[in-house]
Amino acid sequence: MEAGTQLARSRDIGEKITLVLQKRIRNAQEQFAERAKAALNGGAATLPSLMASFTPWNALSYAVDAAQRSVLFWDTLRERGNAFVEQSSKGLEPVLHFDSKVVLDGRRFERPVNYALLEITPPEGITVDASKRPYLIIDPRAGHGPGIGGFKDDSQVGVALRAGHPVYFVIFFRDPEPGQTMLDVCAAEDVFVKKVRSLHPDSPKPAIVGNCQGGWAAMMVATSNPDDTGPIVVNGTPMSYWSGAWSDGGGDNPMRYAGGILGGTWPASFAADLGNGNFDGAYLVQNFENLNPANTLWDKYRHLYTNIDTEPPRFLDFERWWGGFSLMNRSEIEWITRDLFVGNKLWSGEVKGPDGKAFDLRELRSPMILFASLGDNITPPQQAFNWIADIYKSTDEIKARGQVIVGLMHQDIGHLGIFVSGRVARKEHAQIVSVLEEIEGLPPGLYGMEITERKGGDGAVQYDVEFREHWLEDVVGNFNRFQRQDEKPFEAVAAISDFNQRAYELFMQPWVQSISNEATAQTLRDFHPMRLQRWSFSDLNPWLAWLPSAAAVAKSNRRAVDADQPLRKVEEIGSEFVSASLDYYRAMRDASTEALFFGIYANLFSMYLADRHDERASAAPQAEDARDRPFVRDALAAIEEGGYIEALARALALMARKGEPLPLALLTLREELTKDYAEYLPPALPADQWRRVRGEQEIIASYEPERAVQTLPVLLADHGDRKRLLTLIDKLLVDERVQRAEPTKEQLAMLARIRAALAPKPARGRAVAAELAR
């Protein structure tokens, strides 16, 4: 590349980085100023009453309250430390709220893995129906211990049990089995799915629910074993790891820059070597905590201190999971960082399964629900959804492959809230459970799932669900306002990462491994800051021997002051200033990190990879007429091929409501009608085959509606089939349930056209005789 061209590109890159950085800084300053102003206004409002009512008695009562809260606060942290020590000694037990029994233990497999399959025991008062679809929930193994998908009653496990479904849970143990790989884990989870399927042979295929890292594990299992997997639900799951629009708003999604700032994947290998071959999950948890220093350093402890009389049980319950740290061996963490995070290879088919065959996500046969949140800065919606655009080139391909993809978007919940929030469990997860049967009856395509609240007759909150079809091209445009230009520098990250990884393996790894052993590794784990802050503040610390008795005295003589006490108000104002300052620090840190990342890697990409990238882009097929796409062309070429099944699917496609949302009630009605008029329907096809036929016929109905109607008689050459379809149409027209659904004028007109096309034609002789009789 010529020096002048490179200089011009670098200048353009620098200008854009500067503009975005300035906006980030301005936004951070404005947000801090707004919070500071709100806090001061609150202080000004309470100042007169504070001055008027301030007495030595007020100060004394506040001092007693603050002292008691302090003792109870530190005693709660001591209880957290004790729970951590006990949990560590037991090897990190699941934090499940429900009783369970082990069905399969992966540690006893031919290729042992530290995973197990549990069957959840329904609590008293809840009865499950063994004939209903079983649920298999895969928890994330991302540093924490297992059980977060069911650690309280209002959880994914809880809502599925209350709906009467058998529930199974995939857990993992703290220590990995020697030599296990992620592909061994995938093979074990495949065995788990088959086992659940065998336990419920007369039920629909099990629904697979994956949380975060468990989501892409669920996708891999469903791809490698489509015959045994039912609908797939993935929550907050990163699939397109480089994605996350470089918007002009606040500094979003800082985790996606971590690989580049750290120089690639080699730090994970270094940490695993220091751990004598095991990577400490506490590093991952520490990274999560660093994302939000205000909450990590202040807000969660401030909330505990402020509400010390009621908050400790909830705090300790969550910390039991948050403070449990699992391990991965070197091959596992390297596979995750190289192939997924930095390599971004899962969607592209570069990741191979246990049988050596590449995972091709286009081979998924089951409907899937992708749940993401705009408030998630760990797995932003772009990472959850962009893989669809990467593997499917158009909506027509989704339809032709018979795939149903449903997106569900939360507006503000954070990453952990997707799994642990009781409010999300009662609303989103409960509605997901309620619609899984119906989405199998959706025509192939890409849908948005919308949930609206309303008050029922008894005043209780009820939810209405509807599905709205979208076009892939529109969804991609809305999510990626910058046409994913910000993903190009990640190609440079991958190249630098490979170089640094090789350099580490050649020059540092032998030396690091030679000085590491199990004793040094255990010492490093014990003194990791995430563990140290817990066990050092437990009964192991002799300096805290006085605390339990002091806490008992504080509880028995508790003298709490009201929340509107003047000094409590001053306390709240000071706390808000601390929290706002930490949020301001985070915003400035993230903005600087983002600018540094693009300053380094955008220039590296421009200098070494841009020309190659442009060559690939120019060699790629240019935009074509939609009819020239392979799936459209093949479907239209087969317009006169097929029989009763294709004719029925085409009639349904022709009569479908256009541009209208599909309420859940309408999908339920379709299921009822299918059962009631089964004698007029073709022999039962596997659901995935029916969706594929329906998708192909929908393409035909969309691109050639006139020919689609005209060629229906060709598909129904058998007069018995033709009569059967006409009879079905007649019965549907007079069915009260169909009439209550109020068919549109367009639907009725299309029905009339289909009837006319299929109506028997008079014989030629009778037609001539009738003409002569006139």
The Cα–Cα gap between 129 and 166 comes to 7
Instruction: Report CA-CA distances (Å) from 553 to 81, 134, 508, 548, 559.
Output: 21, 50, 56, 9, 11
Secondary structure string (H, E, C) spanning 233-293? EEECCCCCCCCCCCCCCCCCCHHHHHHHHCCCCHHHHHHHHHCCCEEECHHHHHHHHHHCH
pLDDT of residue 231: 93
| Cβ proximity of 566 and 25 under 8 Å | no
The Cα–Cα gap between 321 and 312 comes to 15
Residue with tokens 């007649």: 730
- Does residue 741 sit in helix, strand or coil? coil
Q: Which helix or strand (DSSP H or E) is residue 371 part of?
A: strand 368-373
Q: What is the spatial order of strands in the sheet that 662-663 belongs to?
A: 100-105, 115-120, 167-172, 135-138, 207-211, 232-235, 368-373, 404-410, 445-455, 461-470, 662-663
Please, what are the domains in the chain? 100-240+329-480 (3.40.50.1820), 627-766 (no CATH)
pLDDT of residue 764: 46
- Does residue 623 sit in helix, strand or coil? coil
pLDDT of residue 661: 83
Full-model pTM: 0.90
- Does residue 369 sit in helix, strand or coil? strand
Instruction: Compute CA 152 distance to the chain's CA centroid, rounded to the nearest angstrom.
Output: 20
Q: What is the DSSP letter of 230?
A: -
pLDDT under 70: residue ranges of the chain: 1, 42-54, 245-252, 479, 481-482, 613-624, 761-774
CA-based torsion, 238, 242, 243, 245: positive or negative:
positive
Contacts of 58 (CB under 8 A, 6+ apart): 565, 566, 567
The Cα–Cα gap between 72 and 558 comes to 10
* Burial status of residue 58 (CB atoms within 10 A of its CB: 0-12, 13-18, 19 or more): middle
Alpha helices (runs of H) in 471-528, residue ranges in sequence order: 472-479, 489-503, 509-515, 518-526
pLDDT of residue 615: 55
| Cβ proximity of 238 and 200 under 8 Å | no
The Cα–Cα gap between 446 and 472 comes to 7
Structure tokens that stand for 462 in this block? 């009820």
pLDDT of residue 765: 41
CA-based torsion, 88, 90, 94, 97: positive or negative:
negative
| Cβ proximity of 43 and 573 under 8 Å | yes
Cα angle 620, 626, 628; round to 5: 70
pLDDT of residue 762: 55
